[in-house]
Amino acid sequence: MISGLCCLAGQVDEKMKEFAPIYRKQYSLAYLSQIRDEFEQRKEERTQFLKQRASPEPGKVLYEENVHCFDDSRRWKVRYIVIRATYVLECYESYKTFLKGSAPLHRLMPTGGTILTTEEKYMEMIDHKMWLCCDADVQEDFAPPVVGMPGQFPVYLRLPYRQDFYFCFRDENFQVEFISILSDCVRHQNKDFLKKKTCEVKAFLKAIQLYGQKKGQYESWDMLTGSDVRVRLSTVWNLSNAAYRQSHSIVSPITGNVTVNYQYITYVSASHTY
C-alpha cells in the first residue's frame, strides 16, 4: 500500500509540474490585461438589465431544523442541521449543543453534489460509476436500507469521490424545503469561486482548459466546480484515473479506498504552488 501511495504521489507531482508553467503564462497574460483595462479606464461590461440582489451576511442563518441523518455507525439519528449564508451544512449533535456554541460534528460542503429522492435513482447513479472497481458487492456500502427508515421521504446526497450523505423526513413539505436550500448550497459551492474576476481565477480557468486540451480532453467543464483546489484535484484525478486502475495497490474495490486515495491526492496536490 505504501509503495502504491508513493507511486500516486509521483504521478501527482508530474501533473503539477506540467500544469504550473501553463498557469504562470496565463497569469501573466491576465495580469497584463487587467493593467491595460485599468489604464484605459474601461468599465465592466453589463450583461444583465436587472440588478442582482446583495448577498446576505455570511453569518445569517438560512435554515435550521432537526433532521434524521444516517451516520457512520449506519444508524439513523436526529441531528440539528444549520445552514448559513456560507452555504455550508453544519451538523450538530443536538439543538442544545448548538445553543451552547459547541463545534458541529461535521461541516459539509456539497460541492459537485447530486440530490436524489429515491433509492432506485441513487443506485442507478452508483451503478453508472461502478467502472471504478471490480467488486459486485460494493452496493452494500452505499444506500441505507429502506426498512427501518424513520420517514417516507428520504434525500440522497451523492458526492464525487467523497462520502455520501443521507437524510430522511416524515413530512413531504419538510423534505421539499430541505432540498431547496440544499440545492442552493450545491449551486453556490459549485460556481461562486469561479465567478470571481481576479487575475488568479481567470488565469486558472484558462490554464485548466489548455491543460485538458493538451491531454486530448476537450469536455472537462463538468470538472469546473468548487474552488481552485477542488477543480485541480478533479482534473488530476480524471486525467490519471486510467493509470490508477491498472494498479490494484492504488485503487481497489470501492470500500472506502477511492475516497482515501482522493484524500491523499488532496493532501499532495494542495501542497503544491504554481
Residue 68 lies in a domain: yes
Does 152 or 7 have the greater pLDDT score? 152
pLDDT value of residue 250 = 39
Rounded mean pLDDT, 156-179: 93
Report the CATH number that the domain containing residue 169 is assigned in CATH: 2.30.29.30
Residue 115 is predicted with a pLDDT of 96
The verdict on residue 50 lying in a domain is no
Indicate the SS3 state at residue 224.
coil
Residues 6+ apart with CB under 8 A from 34: 199
Instruction: Specify the higher pLDDT residue, 254 or 244.
Output: 244
DSSP 136: T
101 part of a folded domain:
yes
Percentage, residues of the chain above pLDDT 90: 32
Does residue 153 lie in a domain region? yes
Ordered DSSP codes for 55-106: PPPTT-EEEEEEEEEE-TTS-EEEEEEEEETT--EEEES-HHHHHTTPPPSE
More confident residue, 6 or 192: 192
Alpha helix locations (H) across 145-248? 172-191, 199-214, 228-245
User: For residue 215, with 0-12 CB atoms within 10 Å meaning exposed, 13-18 middle and 19 or more buried, which class applies?
Assistant: middle
Report the 10 Å Cβ neighbour count for 217.
Answer: 14
For 231-253, what is each residue's pLDDT tens digit?
655 655 555 554 444 444 433 33
- Residue 1 falls inside a structural domain: no
Q: What is the pLDDT of residues 173-203, one digit of tens each?
A: 999 999 999 999 999 888 776 677 778 878 8
Kindly state the cell numbers that stand for 274: 504554481
Q: Number of folded domains in the chain?
A: 1
pLDDT at position 52 is 61
Q: Give percent of the chain with pLDDT exceeding 70.
A: 62
Asked whether residue 171 carries a pLDDT value surpassing 90, the answer given is yes
Residue 176's pLDDT is what?
97
* Range 208-214 average pLDDT: 79
Residue at 32 is within a domain = no
Measured from the Cβ of residue 96, the count of other Cβ atoms closer than 10 Å reads 10
pLDDT number for residue 145: 75
Output 55 or 268, whichever has higher pLDDT: 55
- Please indicate whether residue 182 or residue 123 has the higher confidence score (pLDDT): 182
- Is pTM beyond 0.75 here? no
Q: How confident is the model at residue 266 (pLDDT cuts 50, 70, 90)?
A: very low
Range of the domain at 162: 61-192
Indicate the pLDDT class of residue 41, thresholds 50, 70 and 90. Answer: low
Q: Give the number of C-alpha atoms closer than 13 A to the C-alpha of residue 160, restricted to the C-beta side.
A: 19
Does residue 26 carry a pLDDT above 50?
Answer: yes
Q: What integer pLDDT is reported at residue 258 of this predicted model?
A: 45
| Cell matching residue 89 | 451544512
Tell me the three cell numbers of residue 164: 455520501
**Longest Cα–Cα distance in the chain:** 66
Is residue 89 in a domain? yes
pLDDT in tens, 51-93: 666 778 888 999 999 999 998 888 999 999 999 999 999 999 9
Instruction: Give the mean pLDDT of the chain.
Output: 75
Q: Is residue 183 part of a domain?
A: yes
